[in-house]
């Protein structure tokens, strides 16, 4: 069993003051693969102090120099892609090709954010006074706290650190207690790239460690990705210091399938949503509203695809569609949702049971005849289960889709441009996909409405979340 004993603070690997540790499991075999520090308040204090001390000098560097550091780390990650991908598969259960995509996407994302160095703009405004010019600067906020979930743990480090650092902030990353090892790998490689001390800090720990970071008075922005419940607790903690929050939370994405849709394309896109990362993707389609005339042929296609989906241990089986779920809690939650739906009258077209094999597996499942009062239609499933609900017309589907506490992503499948446009106008979600799978681009803006979050990530608008505005009134004689 490997041991990862230290945090990375102020450019050094330091022994935590906490002696508590967290045991990390391989979700495919349930074997212990490592122990990591469960850091305490003084470890967080030390990391935030280092980030705070490093920030003014980092901000004074030209943005293009900061960008050079980010690019150097991106290139280093590319050199170690195979090893990094295997670690993600080992601790998170992703299939290897997807883990490799995660490494590529991480490095490309860092390059993309680095490109903004020469493009961050302020404004010059006319004054009402003679001899005065008004400047509007975009300035860094200070210390950013990045608190991570486990589903795309490696990419999410970059999604927080790259915009934070190019903007002139420093950062403290708190990895997920489920998948901490890849964050050590990221940091080990970053440590070889010569960033100034204290600009990037990693603290390993669980929810108490995260809570301490969220309530820290010297943190200027909490950038959090995770569940709605934790997002609410973080906002409460942030309120004590009026710290800014950027919250990327859960989803319950509706997919609307109209009777003129290309059904093969639609079925493949929906299948992809439920098997990509074993359905553990916040923006993937989680509930389908299908027009009556095509309900049967769509259900047949999905049943075939899901019943033929191959799953297992991504490090020993090749050619898989998906690996295991993250933990036993996820398996139990999914089993509870499906069992309750079945009792309420849902028809199990395929799957519907905990898989009888090693690892945290649930059978790929399609549920027909679902109704709006079923928890499987309202709560985040985060697994390989797809509930179908028949509708008669687009307006009905739009009303049902919008009637959700979540508002992250949505989709519509139709060949009718007028109906597609109507749907995009009326869907109250941060993102809408038309005739394609649910997955965002780095130049877009990934942002949830309602309980799916506050603020967003990616693109220009995501970068500007890591900056605040200073106005200068310059009076000259
Ligand atoms: P989680 O909320 O359980 O944990 C996320 C992180 O928060 C962990 O690092 C955890 O230690 C920390 N944490 C827990 N309690 C805390 C507290 N009180 N204060 C501060 N930190 C605390 O989420 P998870 O199970 O790791 O991730 C899955 C969830 O993430 C799903 O709901 C998914 O939809 C969501 N997610 C959203 C997006 C998005 O972009 N919107 C992306 C990925 C995942």
Answer yes or no: do 392 and 471 share one domain: no
Q: Are residues 259 and 153 in the same domain?
A: no
Q: Do 465 and 361 belong to one domain?
A: no
Inside any domain, residue 447: no
Residues 242 and 323 in one domain: no
Task: For residue 44, give the 3-state DSSP assignment.
Answer: helix
122 plus 146 within the same structural domain: yes
147 in contact with ligand 1, CB cutoff 6 A: yes
Q: Answer yes or no: 59 catalytic.
A: no
* Distance (Å) from CA 87 to ligand 1 centroid: 20
Which range of residues forms the domain containing residue 399? 253-442
- The residues near 471 (Cβ < 8 Å, ≥ 6 apart) are 134, 135, 136, 137
Are 263 and 324 within one domain?
Answer: yes
Same domain, yes or no: 175 and 257: no
Number of domains in the chain: 2
246 lines ligand 1 (CB under 6 A): no
- Whose C-alpha lies nearest to ligand 1, atom 28? 226
Same domain, 41 and 78: yes
Determine the distance separating the centroid of ligand 1 and the alpha carbon of 159, expressed in angstroms. 15
Say if 17 falls within a structural domain.
yes
Per-residue pLDDT reduced to its tens digit, 154-191 = 999 999 999 999 999 999 999 999 999 999 999 999 99
pTM of this prediction?
Answer: 0.96
HSE-CB of 320 using CA atoms within 13 angstroms: 24
* Residue to mutate, 159, 230, 465, ligand 1, most ligand atoms under 8 Å from C-beta: 230
In a domain, 423, yes or no: yes
User: Is 318:474 a contact under the CB 8 Å cutoff?
Assistant: no
Q: Which residue has the tokens 């027009």?
A: 291
Atom of ligand 1 nearest to the CA of 229: 2
Note whether 284 and 333 are same-domain residues.
yes
Assess if residue 257 is contained within a domain.
yes
Distance 149 CA to ligand 1 centre (A): 4
Ligand 1 contacts CB of residue 249 (under 6 A): yes
Is 387 part of a structural domain of the chain? yes
d(C-alpha 9, C-alpha 234), whole Å: 23
- The closest alpha carbon to 172, from 38, 44, 15, belongs to 44
258 lies in the same domain as 244 = no
Q: What CATH number has the domain bearing residue 406?
A: 3.40.309.10
CATH number, residue 231: 3.40.605.10
Does residue 204 have its Cβ closer than 6 Å to ligand 1? no
Q: What are the φ/ψ torsions at residue 207 (nearest 5 degrees)?
A: -70, -35
Give the Å distance between the CA of 230 and the centre of ligand 1.
Answer: 6
Catalytic-labelled residue, pool 100, 102, 248, 363: 248
Q: Which residues contact 404 (CB under 8 A, 6 or more apart)?
A: 252, 254, 378, 450
Does the beta carbon of 201 sit less than 6 angstroms from any atom of ligand 1?
A: no
pLDDT tens string, the chain, 477 residues long: the values are 455 889 999 999 999 999 999 999 999 999 999 999 999 999 999 999 999 999 999 999 999 999 999 999 999 999 999 999 999 999 999 999 999 999 999 999 999 999 999 999 999 999 999 999 999 999 999 999 999 999 999 999 999 999 999 999 999 999 999 999 999 999 999 999 999 999 999 999 999 999 999 999 999 999 999 999 999 999 999 999 999 999 999 999 999 999 999 999 999 999 999 999 999 999 999 999 999 999 999 999 999 999 999 999 999 998 999 999 999 999 999 999 999 999 999 999 999 999 999 999 999 999 999 999 999 999 999 999 999 999 999 999 999 999 999 999 999 999 999 999 999 999 999 999 999 998 899 999 999 999 999 999 999 999 999 999 999 999 998
On whether residue 164 sits in a domain, the answer given is yes
Same domain, 127 and 260: no
Å from CA of 13 to ligand 1 middle: 25
């Amino acid at each position: 069993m490997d041991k990862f004993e230290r945090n990375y603070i102020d450019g050094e690997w330091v022994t935590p003051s906490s002696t508590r540790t967290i045991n990390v499991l391989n979700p495919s075999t349930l074997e212990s693969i490592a122990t990591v520090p469960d850091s305490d308040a003084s470890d967080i204090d030390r990391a935030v102090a280092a980030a705070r001390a490093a920030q003014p000098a980092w901000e004074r560097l030209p943005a293009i120099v900061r960008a050079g550091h980010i690019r150097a780390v991106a290139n280093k990650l590319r050199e170690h892609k195979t090893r990094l991908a295997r670690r993600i598969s080992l601790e998170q259960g992703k299939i290897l090709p997807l883990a490799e995509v995660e490494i590529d996407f991480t490095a490309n994302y860092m390059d993309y954010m680095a490109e903004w160095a020469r493009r961050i703009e302020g404004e010059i405004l006319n004054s009402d006074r003679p001899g005065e010019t008004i400047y509007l600067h975009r300035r860094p906020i200070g210390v950013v706290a990045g608190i991570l979930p486990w589903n795309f743990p490696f990419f999410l480090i970059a999604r927080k650190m790259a915009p934070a650092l190019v903007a002139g902030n420093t950062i403290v990353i708190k990895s997920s207690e489920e998948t901490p090892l890849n964050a050590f790998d990221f940091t080990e490689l970053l440590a070889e790239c010569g960033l100034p001390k204290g600009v990037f800090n990693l603290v390993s720990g669980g929810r108490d460690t995260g809570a301490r970071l969220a309530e820290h008075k010297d943190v200027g922005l909490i950038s959090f990705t995770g569940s709605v419940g934790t997002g609410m607790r973080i906002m409460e903690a942030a309120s004590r210091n009026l710290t800014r929050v950027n919250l990327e939370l859960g989803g319950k994405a509706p997919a609307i399938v109209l009777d003129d849709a290309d059904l093969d394309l639609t079925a493949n896109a929906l299948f992809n949503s439920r098997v990509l990362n074993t359905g553990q993707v916040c923006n993937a389609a989680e509930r389908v509203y299908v027009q009556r005339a095509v309900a049967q042929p769509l259900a047949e296609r999905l049943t075939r695809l899901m019943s033929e989906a191959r799953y297992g241990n991504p490090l020993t089986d090749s050619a898989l569609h998906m690996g295991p779920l993250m933990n036993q809690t996820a398996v139990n939650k999914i089993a509870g949702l499906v069992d309750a739906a079945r009792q309420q009258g849902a028809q199990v077209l395929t799957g519907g049971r905990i898989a009888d094999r090693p690892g945290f597996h649930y059978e790929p499942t399609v549920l027909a005849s679902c109704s709006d009062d079923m928890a499987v239609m309202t709560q985040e499933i985060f697994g390989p289960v797809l509930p179908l609900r028949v509708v008669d017309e687009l307006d009905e589907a739009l009303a049902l889709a919008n009637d959700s506490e979540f508002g992250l992503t949505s989709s519509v499948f139709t060949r009718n441009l007028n109906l597609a446009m109507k749907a995009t106008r009326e869907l109250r979600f941060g993102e809408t996909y038309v005739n394609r799978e649910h997955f965002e681009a780095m130049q877009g803006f990934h942002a949830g409405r309602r309980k799916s979050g506050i603020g967003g990530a990616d693109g220009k608008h995501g970068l500007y979340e890591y900056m605040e505005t200073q106005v200068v009134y310059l009076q000259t004689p």
